[in-house]
């Protein structure tokens, strides 16, 4: 068959379709990871505690200071430092409630997504967008807050750095550099990010824990000195009040509420584990619960210790943001000797690094959450695609851009950023609490009453925090979140409506009429590259048939097994009478895979190849935002191959969406009638190339030589044969044999009133074809899987063939290549 002949003869002397941009990406980020390695990119419990707890643990560095910023100007030094202790107890209660709440979440929802998944499953996808917006805002502001606090920690250790540019500009510069470094580290992949960003959590917890223990010991034995208080002013402490009276009782309650809201920032980040449960090793739920409990215990200990030392030493926040309260405490506890200075710098190093890498929690959680929301069609679908290193690169880049914009506009000042902060995160807590309460009420599993009470109490507490924060921080920036929040929810729902209208136009055809007629043959090989079976695909198949080729094949590059299985089922139901090949694409470089396939077929003398690419066309701005340009990339690569042409068959979705909208506004409730009209509109039998396609062909130009050979692509494509099997390349005569290799191509061939499943299996020595008569699908036998075959070998056209062999599916990494 043409496909097997092309793949078998393929020497892969070049790798068209990738240019300077790909070479630069490979140099900066490393070689692309393949899909099989995704399961290996998981975090152990110690690594997960370091990576996913950065945000939660690091908030202890500024929680106490943020409460003092509100208490001291209103109540004075003595009362302010006295009130810090009961305010800390209230915050510790909140930490306990949030940890208990999210233990409920990760016990039930072991897939990443956290409160968004909880809200979606219990309140529906539209209500869930409230949680989605809340969490996305939280992730963005977390990056800004953490890096601003980390910059203050650096200047607390080295105040001279702030003099040349001024404190505010130096803080901003350090913050911007830190965000860019975190972006680069995460674009390299989860494993690299984990190793890089786990250590600061342990360094900070250990050094600050040591400071608390030493401080308590000194307080009991010799006593702790109090900090020197410079006068209030631009370079001194914040303003100091003179207490309150009964006349100001209402104002005192208001100030306490503001202090509580500021202290509530210490709770942020605790939920990060639930937002990335799938990043943990199995069993994910149990590991996530243990990480949550450990994280909550560490945060509570650190906040309680820092608040107590502040109460004893009277460490006071400074107007310019540094030295921080934590830095003042470390200096007083460890003293000014050589050893004390070394420990002081150790605390500052731990504080700075964990605050910077606390933003890494957002770089882990934001892309995952954005991909889930995009899968539900409430965000652009290109956010669902994994990039070069198996991370959601688009989500990482979006988070970097927005957080940089925020910190540049607002400034690298923690107190200035706090008003943007807690509304988002506590709204997510609230949705999770009430969502879990609804879940337990509906399911009524073992102990459901106790679980429901925990969820309701946690949801009520966090809802109270949201209301307090919206009121007391409204004029300081919370107003922006209050306004932007509903606008974003509306935008998400509006985007979903756009996707649903497009899906109506492109919905798969099942019983909408007769499939396309079998093609009439002429002199050209035609490949139709498809990703779904819908009206746009039918338009492409009709155009391909109108070319009257010698052979015509539909090809689907497998990067998602679930999508491939759905396409297989749709194809068999529709029975279009055209072979469908499933080709493995483990590194997701679809343009390069298509160009390689076409160039192998076009290399035979006298063979011309046409690659037909059905393309769904949309309005320029909307289409660019909602959809990628994979078809254009494939066409660009194929058009450079001699004796090959790339033909794009457009299907104008935008005009059909407008048509549906116009009919609805005119009062026409009925959808467009019949599949025949839709298929005709998609480009019927009489479509000409000028009317339906944009064709690019260069028949005489040589293929680009600057490409990699098959040997350079890695052993995952052509595994070496094991000792107990026969190398496929040695199967040159009929007889029984045992062979194993990687499935490269799966093809469904129509044969009279039946089908044949043809699988091309290859190892490093050659390729073998297994034919399963009367089968259209074998569970687990798909491109990229490894299989061992036993049976009689025949030779057809110089190549080994097995008919209905016994087969055994092998686990990745097993078999001869292990």
Place of tokens 């019949």: 674
At residue 716, the pLDDT reads 54
Cis amide linkage into residue 451, ω under 30° from 0 = no
DSSP 3-state assignment of 644?
strand
Lowest mean pLDDT among 30-44, 210-224, 726-740, 786-800: 30-44
Task: Answer with the residue of higher pLDDT: 656 or 10.
Answer: 656
pLDDT band at 212 (very low <50, low <70, confident <90, very high): very high
Mean pLDDT computed over 647-675: 61
Residue 649: is its pLDDT beyond 70?
A: yes
Residue 618: is its pLDDT beyond 80?
A: no
Residue 152: is its pLDDT beyond 80?
A: yes
Most confident option among 458-472, 508-522, 670-684, 725-739: 725-739
726 to each of 767, 797, 804, 812, how far by Cα in Å? 12, 20, 18, 19
At residue 628, the pLDDT reads 62
Q: Are 180 and 418 in contact (CB under 8 A)?
A: no
Task: Answer with the residue of higher pLDDT: 606 or 617.
Answer: 606
Residue 61, φ and ψ in degrees, nearest 5 = -70, -25
The tens digit of pLDDT for each residue in 62-82 reads 888 888 888 887 777 777 788
Distance CA 210, CA 309 (A): 13
Q: For 473-614, where are the alpha helices, taking DSSP H only?
A: 478-506, 535-546, 561-574, 590-602
Residue 177: is its pLDDT beyond 80?
A: yes
Task: Answer with the residue of higher pLDDT: 350 or 266.
Answer: 350
Query: Counting runs of H as helices and runs of E as strands, what totals does the chain give?
Result: 27, 12
| Strand bridging mode 735-751 / 551-558 | unpaired
Distance CA 324, CA 458 (A): 31
DSSP secondary-structure letter at 350? H
Cis amide linkage into residue 323, ω under 30° from 0 = yes
Distance CA 424, CA 136 (A): 8
Q: Are 7 and 600 in contact (CB under 8 A)?
A: yes
The tens digit of pLDDT for each residue in 410-445 reads 887 887 787 777 677 788 888 888 988 898 888 888
Q: Are 612 and 644 in contact (CB under 8 A)?
A: no
Place of tokens 């994994």: 386
- Kindly write down the DSSP assignment for every residue of 720-779, as one continuous string: PP-TTS--GGG--SSEEEEEEEEEEEEEEEEETTEEEEEEEEEETTEEEEEEEET-S--T
Q: Are 538 and 682 in contact (CB under 8 A)?
A: yes
pLDDT band at 241 (very low <50, low <70, confident <90, very high): low
Residue 710: is its pLDDT beyond 50?
A: no
pLDDT band at 522 (very low <50, low <70, confident <90, very high): very low
Task: Answer with the residue of higher pLDDT: 576 or 621.
Answer: 576
At residue 283, the pLDDT reads 78
Task: Answer with the residue of higher pLDDT: 64 or 167.
Answer: 64
What value does the CA radius of gyration of the chain take, rounded to a whole number of Å? 31
Task: Answer with the residue of higher pLDDT: 5 or 373.
Answer: 373
At residue 274, the pLDDT reads 74
Mean pLDDT computed over 6-24: 48
Give the length of the chain: 818
Lowest mean pLDDT among 163-172, 372-381, 473-482, 505-514: 505-514
At residue 246, the pLDDT reads 43
pLDDT band at 801 (very low <50, low <70, confident <90, very high): very high
The tens digit of pLDDT for each residue in 88-98 reads 898 888 888 88
By the 10 Å C-beta count (0-12 exposed, 13-18 middle, 19+ buried), 235 is classed as exposed
Distance CA 136, CA 451 (A): 27
The pTM assigned to this predicted structure is 0.66
Distance CA 128, CA 130 (A): 5
| Domains defined along the chain, listed by start | 2-17+528-712 (no CATH), 53-497 (1.20.1740.10), 718-817 (2.40.50.140)
Most confident option among 249-263, 539-553, 668-682, 707-721: 539-553
Binning the chain into helix, strand and coil, the percentages to the nearest 5 are 60, 10, 30
Backbone dihedral region of 804: left (phi > 0), alpha (psi from -120 to 50 degrees) or beta?
left
Place of tokens 């483990």: 586
Helices 338-375 and 60-108 sit at what angle, rounded to 10 degrees? 40
DSSP 3-state assignment of 411?
coil
- Could you tell me what percent of the chain has a pLDDT over 90? 5
At residue 768, the pLDDT reads 92
Of 498, 731, 708, whose CA–CA distance to 623 is shortest? 498
Non-local CB neighbours of 795 within 8 Å, separated by 6+ positions: 732, 733, 734, 801
At residue 275, the pLDDT reads 65
pLDDT band at 33 (very low <50, low <70, confident <90, very high): low
At residue 345, the pLDDT reads 92
Distance CA 514, CA 89 (A): 71
Distance CA 756, CA 192 (A): 45
Non-local CB neighbours of 750 within 8 Å, separated by 6+ positions: 575, 577, 578, 579
Mean pLDDT computed over 648-673: 62
Cα torsion 699, 703, 709, 713: sign? negative
DSSP secondary-structure letter at 745? E
The tens digit of pLDDT for each residue in 100-116 reads 888 888 888 876 667 88
Of 582, 515, 571, whose CA–CA distance to 545 is shortest? 515
Residue 581, φ and ψ in degrees, nearest 5 = -100, 135
The tens digit of pLDDT for each residue in 321-338 reads 778 888 888 888 988 888
At residue 210, the pLDDT reads 92
Q: Are 624 and 382 in contact (CB under 8 A)?
A: no
The tens digit of pLDDT for each residue in 384-413 reads 777 655 667 788 888 889 989 988 888 878
At residue 697, the pLDDT reads 37
Written as six digits, the tokens of 749 are 């061939």
Lowest mean pLDDT among 17-26, 364-373, 559-568, 706-715: 706-715
Residue 491: is its pLDDT beyond 60?
A: yes
Residue 280: is its pLDDT beyond 60?
A: yes
pLDDT band at 500 (very low <50, low <70, confident <90, very high): confident
Distance CA 642, CA 414 (A): 60
Non-local CB neighbours of 115 within 8 Å, separated by 6+ positions: 105, 131, 134, 135, 271, 274, 275, 428, 429, 431, 432, 435
Of 26, 720, 43, whose CA–CA distance to 368 is shortest? 43
pLDDT band at 343 (very low <50, low <70, confident <90, very high): very high
Non-local CB neighbours of 168 within 8 Å, separated by 6+ positions: 320, 411, 412, 413
Non-local CB neighbours of 666 within 8 Å, separated by 6+ positions: none
At residue 620, the pLDDT reads 60
The tens digit of pLDDT for each residue in 544-560 reads 888 788 888 889 888 87
pLDDT band at 695 (very low <50, low <70, confident <90, very high): very low
> Average pLDDT, whole number, for the chain?
76
| Strand bridging mode 799-803 / 786-796 | antiparallel
Q: Are 672 and 683 in contact (CB under 8 A)?
A: no
218 to each of 313, 346, 508, how far by Cα in Å? 12, 19, 74
At residue 770, the pLDDT reads 92
């Amino acid at each position: 068959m043409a496909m097997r002949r092309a793949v078998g003869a393929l020497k892969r002397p070049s790798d068209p379709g990738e240019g300077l941009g790909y070479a630069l990406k490979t140099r900066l980020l490393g070689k692309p990871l393949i899909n099989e390695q995704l399961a290996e990119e998981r975090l152990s419990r110690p690594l997960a505690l370091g990576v996913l707890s950065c945000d939660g643990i690091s908030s202890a560095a500024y929680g106490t200071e943020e409460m003092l910023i509100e208490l001291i100007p209103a109540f004075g030094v003595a009362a302010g430092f006295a009130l810090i202790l009961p305010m800390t107890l209230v915050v510790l209660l909140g930490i306990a409630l949030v940890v208990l709440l999210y233990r409920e979440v990760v016990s039930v929802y072991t897939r990443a997504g956290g409160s968004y998944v909880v809200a979606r499953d219990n309140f529906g996808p539209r209500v869930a967008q409230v949680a989605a917006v809340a969490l996305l805002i939280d992730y963005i502001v977390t990056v800004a807050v953490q890096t601003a606090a980390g910059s203050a920690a650096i200047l607390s250790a080295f105040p001279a750095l702030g003099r040349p540019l001024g404190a505010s500009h130096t803080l901003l510069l350090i913050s911007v550099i830190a965000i860019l470094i975190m972006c680069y580290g995460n674009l390299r992949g989860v494993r690299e990010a984990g190793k890089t960003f786990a250590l600061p959590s342990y360094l900070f917890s250990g050094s600050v824990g040591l400071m608390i223990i030493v401080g308590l010991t000194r307080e009991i034995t010799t006593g702790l000195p109090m900090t020197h208080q410079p006068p209030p002013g631009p370079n001194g402490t914040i303003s100091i009040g003179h207490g309150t009276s009964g006349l100001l009782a209402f104002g005192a309650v208001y100030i306490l509420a503001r202090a509580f809201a500021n202290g509530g920032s210490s709770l942020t980040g605790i939920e990060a584990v639930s937002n990335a449960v799938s990043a943990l090793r199995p069993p994910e739920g149990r590991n996530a619960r243990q990480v949550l409990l450990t994280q909550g215990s560490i945060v509570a200990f650190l906040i309680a210790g820092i608040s107590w030392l502040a109460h004893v030493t009277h460490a006071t926040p400074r107007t310019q943001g540094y030295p921080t309260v934590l830095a003042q405490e470390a200096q007083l506890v460890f003293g000014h000797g050589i050893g004390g200075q070394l420990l002081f710098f150790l605390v500052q190093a731990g504080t700075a690094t964990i605050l910077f890498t606390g933003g890494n929690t957002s770089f882990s959680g934001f892309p995952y959450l954005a991909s889930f929301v995009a899968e539900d069609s409430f965000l652009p679908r290109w956010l669902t695609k994994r990039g070069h290193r198996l991370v959601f690169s688009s989500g990482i880049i979006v988070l970097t851009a927005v957080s940089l914009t925020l910190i540049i506009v607002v400034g690298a000042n923690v107190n200035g950023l706090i008003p943007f902060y807690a509304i988002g995160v506590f709204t997510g807590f609230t949705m999770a609490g009430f969502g879990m309460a609804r879940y337990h009420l509906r399911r009524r599993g073992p102990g459901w009453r106790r679980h429901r009470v925990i969820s309701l109490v946690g949801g009520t507490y966090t809802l109270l925090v949201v209301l307090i924060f919206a009121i007391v921080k409204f004029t300081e920036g919370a107003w922006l979140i209050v306004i932007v929040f509903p606008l974003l929810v509306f935008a998400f729902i509006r985007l979903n409506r756009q996707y649903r209208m497009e899906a109506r136009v492109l919905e798969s055809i099942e019983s909408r009429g007769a499939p396309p007629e079998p093609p009439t043959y002429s002199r050209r090989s035609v490949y139709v590259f498809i990703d779904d079976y819908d009206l746009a695909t039918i338009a492409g198949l009709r155009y391909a048939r109108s070319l009257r080729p010698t052979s015509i094949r539909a090809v689907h590059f497998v990067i998602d097994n679930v999508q491939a299985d759905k396409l297989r089922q749709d194809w068999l139901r529709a029975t279009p009478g055209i072979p469908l090949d499933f080709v493995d694409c483990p590194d997701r470089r679809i343009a390069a895979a298509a160009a390689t396939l076409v160039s192998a077929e076009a290399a035979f003398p006298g063979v011309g190849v046409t690659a037909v690419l059905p393309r769904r066309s949309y309005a320029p701005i909307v289409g660019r935002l909602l959809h990628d340009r994979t078809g254009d990339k494939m066409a660009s690569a194929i058009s450079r191959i001699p004796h090959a042409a790339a033909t794009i068959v457009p299907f104008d979705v935008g005009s059909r969406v407008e048509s549906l909208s116009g009919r609805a506004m005119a009062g026409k409730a009925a959808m467009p009638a019949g599949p025949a009209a839709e298929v005709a509109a998609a480009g019927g039998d009489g479509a000409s190339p000028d009317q339906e396609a944009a064709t690019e062909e260069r028949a005489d130009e040589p293929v680009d030589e600057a490409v990699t050979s098959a040997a350079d692509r890695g052993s995952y494509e052509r595994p070496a044969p094991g000792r107990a099997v026969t190398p496929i390349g040695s199967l040159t005569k009929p007889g029984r044999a045992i062979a194993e290799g990687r499935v490269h191509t799966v093809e469904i061939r129509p044969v009279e009133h039946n089908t044949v499943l043809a699988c091309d299996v290859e190892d490093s020595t050659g390729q073998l074809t297994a034919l399963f008569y009367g089968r259209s699908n074998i569970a687990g036998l798909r491109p990229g899987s490894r299989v061992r075959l036993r049976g009689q070998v025949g030779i057809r056209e110089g190549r080994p063939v097995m008919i209905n062999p016994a087969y055994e599916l092998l686990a990745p990494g097993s078999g001869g290549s292990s």
